[in-house]
């Protein structure tokens, strides 16, 4: 694995690979790798000749009161894990490389950024959309792998690539969970020893909501309430939102229908730590297909 800090050098590597008819798999990250990141790297490794991982803690997607300075970092550990996952190129630019001058240009994806996390983090998805567009422009035509844990981010990125005709195929990979169901996240490192087991209530809430659908419930408010009730049993967790929305455009719905993909999405705080989780599901007659636990086996969509 080589580590590259300069945009020009990464562009050259990717262009050179494509000239040799090698495909490029790309995993954008903010580092502090866990098994969820590794599952994305492995998905890219299994399908592409050149695997590029970017590691950049993007300041523009953090709000003024959010945890940019405290965001966990482990450059050496990350390099070791990426190399072990078979990554060819680790792109780790400095802030000055990505933002050498004040940005006068930004990318804003409308509509799908209004609800869910966008409601409490109004600038977050603008920062994500802009940096992902820059990264896609640097890496060039490729397949990019994103975790479904950040489901709204996945929808935003898919939409910006489609709307701006960016030649990047966006693949969503299943959430990887701890044995008690907690979705893997760099932010889990902030949880205290009391908060850590409490946080698994989010997984149980998703499971409860899915069971509700499996037992025939089609009213969205009641499915949502099943999740809310389970989260409320855990005094250390404070729910920010629980929503069931359409999977492709995050539109609100009142009644579940056959053949439509839905996502049940949750955000909650354990002390100062904000956690998100979700499950996607689709009703097909008497069958309910759902994606709740990847347990290390990424299922691509």
The set of catalytic residues is: 37
Residue (of 55, 56, 57, 41) closest to 90 by Cα position = 55
Nearer to ligand PAF, 133 or 280 (CB): 133
Nearer to ligand PAF, 129 or 264 (CB): 129
Compute the distance between CA of residue 224 and CA of residue 112 in angstroms, rounded to an integer: 20
Question: Is residue 55 near ligand PAF by the rule CB under 6 A?
Answer: no
Give the single-character DSSP code of 187: G
User: Which 152-191 positions form the footprint of ligand PAF (CB under 6 A)?
Assistant: 153
Nearer to ligand PAF, 131 or 231 (CB): 131
Compute the distance between CA of residue 208 and CA of residue 226 in angstroms, rounded to an integer: 6
Compute the distance between CA of residue 97 and CA of residue 9 in angstroms, rounded to an integer: 12
Q: x/- string (CB under 6 A) for ligand PAF, residues 15-44?
A: -------------xxx--------------
Q: Are 214 and 222 in contact (CB under 8 A)?
A: no
Question: Is residue 150 near ligand PAF by the rule CB under 6 A?
Answer: yes
Q: x/- string (CB under 6 A) for ligand PAF, residues 85-124?
A: ----------------------------------------
Nearer to ligand PAF, 13 or 58 (CB): 58
Question: Is residue 131 near ligand PAF by the rule CB under 6 A?
Answer: yes
Say how many C-beta atoms besides its own lie within 10 A of residue 284's C-beta.
9
Give the one residue of 24, 44, 82, 132 binding ligand PAF; rule: CB under 6 A.
Answer: 132
Compute the distance between CA of residue 41 and CA of residue 53 in angstroms, rounded to an integer: 8
Residues 6+ apart with CB under 8 A from 130: 60, 103, 105, 106, 107
Say how many C-beta atoms besides its own lie within 10 A of residue 114's C-beta.
11
93-101, 106-114, 128-136, 267-275 -> range binding ligand PAF (CB under 6 A): 128-136
Please report, as ranges, the residues that interact with ligand PAF according to CB under 6 A.
28-30, 58, 61, 128, 131-132, 150, 153
């Amino acid at each position: 694995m080589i580590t590259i800090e300069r945009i020009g050098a990464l562009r050259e590597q990717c262009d050179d690979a494509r000239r040799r008819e090698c495909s490029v798999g790309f995993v954008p990250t903010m580092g502090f790798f866990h098994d969820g990141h590794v599952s994305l790297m492995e998905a890219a490794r299994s399908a592409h000749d050149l695997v590029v991982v970017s590691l950049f803690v993007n300041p523009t997607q953090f709000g003024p009161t959010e945890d940019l300075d405290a965001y966990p970092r482990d450059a050496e550990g990350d390099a070791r894990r990426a190399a072990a996952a078979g990554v060819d190129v680790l792109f780790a630019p400095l802030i000055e490389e990505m933002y050498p001058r004040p940005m006068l240009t930004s990318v804003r994806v409308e509509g799908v950024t209004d609800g869910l996390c966008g409601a409490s983090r109004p600038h977050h998805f603008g920062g994500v959309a802009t940096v992902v567009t820059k990264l896609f422009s640097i890496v060039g035509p490729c397949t990019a792998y994103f975790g479904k844990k950040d489901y709204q981010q996945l929808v935003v990125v898919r939409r910006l690539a489609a709307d701006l005709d960016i030649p990047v195929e966006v693949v969503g990979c299943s959430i990887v969970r701890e044995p008690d169901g907690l979705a893997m996240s760099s932010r889990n490192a902030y949880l205290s020893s009391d908060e850590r087991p409490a946080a698994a209530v989010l997984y149980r809430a998703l499971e409860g909501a899915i069971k509700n659908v499996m037992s025939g419930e089609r009213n969205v408010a009641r499915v949502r309430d099943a999740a809310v009730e389970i989260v409320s049993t855990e005094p250390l967790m404070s729910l920010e939102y629980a929503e069931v929305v359409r999977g492709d455009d995050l539109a609100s719905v009142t009644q579940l229908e056959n053949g439509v993909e839905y996502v049940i999405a949750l955000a909650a705080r354990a002390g100062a730590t904000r956690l998100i989780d979700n499950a996607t599901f689709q009703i097909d007659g008497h069958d309910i297909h759902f994606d709740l636990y990847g347990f290390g086996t990424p299922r691509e969509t």
